[in-house]
């Protein structure tokens, strides 16, 4: 196919701010439809549900699922059963087990399935990975802090089971760490701060080690009010300190900037999705979600003040 006819399912903040502009800026796509309960988009066919889109809508090739993870698997299975390629916003599902079902469905239906991790497409992630390849890593420190009221305003689902709380942004840091570090790592301790009126944590302190006992520490916090967000990863090596800051839009070596670029993560996502479709392949890496699942399993829960929007 020359042009991929695409539909967005779930037109909320992330679809409006990131997905739609990225699609509009890519010559390989044409946005033909949107399925959303609470929004309509001018110039395309609009439906209240994916079911209605598939039954009544224009012919499409692929769907981009921007709905909450708790409903995404059922939607992905339905779309693939109709022969559509599927991009999954992060996280790819609410559980690890359901991802394996999706993997089998994609193979059986002969379609592309893409578990997208947008932060891996930040400008300096690939360069950081290359730089670390020839160094001995001694320690990793991750600091990922932002204001939930700014980045997820009015989104009560994030505090419900499956919503992940602070791990919704924290998984972005883990997606970068699993991409740039040369060895797998695993969780050894997790301290979770959970508001008394919520089911998911508002902050988390995590400790990992890799196969040669390199310590990896992460601090996630959703309470970074009135100050800019912090999206930093620091890697101490035998040949200097690498820092990815601004979510990977800038890289520093021993405090000296190696350059800074504007965020183009979602453009990278859609380029990757198009390539996978044209190559007849899928990409379903779940390593960042596995770390979150481990934290929610092993983590010690500390009750903190109720969260009020």
| CA 290 remoteness from chain centre | 13
Q: Which of 84, 90, 136, 145 is catalytic?
A: 90
List of long-range contacts for 12-21, beta carbons under 8 Å, 24+ apart: 12/36, 12/38, 12/39, 12/66, 12/155, 13/152, 13/153, 13/155, 14/66, 14/89, 15/64, 15/66, 18/118, 18/265, 18/266, 19/64, 19/66, 19/266, 21/266
Catalytic-residue membership of 90: yes
288 burial via Cβ count (<10 Å: 0-12, 13-18, 19+): buried
Calculate what percentage of the chain has a pLDDT beyond 70.
100
Query: The domain 119-263+293-304 belongs to what CATH superfamily?
Result: Dihydrodipicolinate Reductase; domain 2 (3.30.360.10)
Report residue 51 CA to chain centroid gap. 25
pLDDT at 1 over 80: no
Please check the confidence at residue 228 and state whether its pLDDT lies above 90. Answer: yes
β-pairing, 185-195 with 137-145? unpaired
> 4-115 and 119-263+293-304 share one CATH topology?
no
Confidence of residue 259 (pLDDT cuts 50, 70, 90): confident
Half-sphere exposure of 251 (CA within 13 A, CB side): 19
Residue 256's alpha-carbon distances to 228, 232, 242, 261, 263, in angstroms, are: 21, 15, 9, 15, 20
For residue 226, pLDDT beyond 90? no
Task: Choose the most confident range, by mean pLDDT, from 67-71, 92-96, 105-109.
Answer: 105-109
Instruction: Measure the CA–CA gap between 254 and 234, rounded to whole angstroms.
Output: 10
What architecture (CATH level 2) is domain 4-115?
3-Layer(aba) Sandwich (3.40)
Dist CA 278 CA 61 (whole Å): 12
**pLDDT above 80 (res 250):** yes
* Whether the Cβ atoms of residue 143 and residue 88 lie closer than 8 Å to each other: no
> What's the pLDDT score for residue 238?
97
150 pLDDT tier (thresholds 50, 70, 90)? very high
| Whether the predicted pLDDT of 119 surpasses 90 | yes
- Banded model confidence at residue 155, pLDDT cuts 50, 70, 90: confident
Residue 240 has pLDDT above 80, yes or no: yes
Domain ranges of the chain: 4-115, 119-263+293-304
């Amino acid at each position: 196919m020359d042009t991929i006819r695409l539909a967005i399912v779930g037109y909320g903040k992330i679809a409006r701010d990131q997905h739609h502009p990225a699609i509009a800026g890519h010559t390989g796509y044409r946005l033909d439809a949107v399925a959303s309960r609470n929004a309509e988009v001018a110039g395309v066919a609009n439906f209240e549900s994916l079911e209605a889109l598939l039954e009544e809508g224009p012919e499409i090739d692929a769907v981009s699922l921007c709905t909450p993870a708790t409903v995404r698997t059922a939607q992905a299975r339905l779309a693939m059963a109709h022969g559509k390629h599927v991009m999954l916003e992060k996280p790819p599902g609410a559980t690890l087990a359901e991802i394996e079902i999706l993997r089998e469905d994609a193979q059986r239906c002969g379609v592309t399935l893409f578990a997208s991790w947008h932060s891996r497409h930040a400008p300096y992630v690939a360069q950081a990975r290359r730089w670390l390849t020839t160094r001995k890593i001694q320690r990793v420190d991750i600091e990922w802090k932002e204001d939930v009221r700014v980045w997820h305003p009015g989104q009560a689902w994030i505090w419900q089971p499956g919503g992940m709380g602070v791990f919704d942004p924290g998984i972005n840091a883990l997606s970068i760490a699993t991409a740039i570090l040369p060895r797998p790592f695993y969780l050894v301790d997790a301290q979770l701060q959970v508001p008394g009126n919520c089911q998911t944590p508002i902050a988390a302190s995590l400790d990992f080690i890799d196969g040669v006992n390199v310590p990896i520490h992460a601090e996630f916090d959703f309470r970074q009010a009135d100050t800019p967000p912090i999206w930093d990863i620091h890697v101490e090596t035998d040949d200097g300190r690498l820092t990815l800051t601004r979510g990977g839009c800038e890289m520093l070596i021993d405090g000296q900037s190696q350059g800074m670029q504007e965020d183009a993560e979602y453009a990278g996502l859609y380029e990757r999705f198009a390539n996978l479709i044209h190559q007849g392949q899928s990409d379903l890496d779940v390593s960042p979600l596995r770390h979150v699942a481990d934290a929610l399993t092993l983590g010690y829960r500390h009750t903190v003040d109720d969260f009020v929007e």
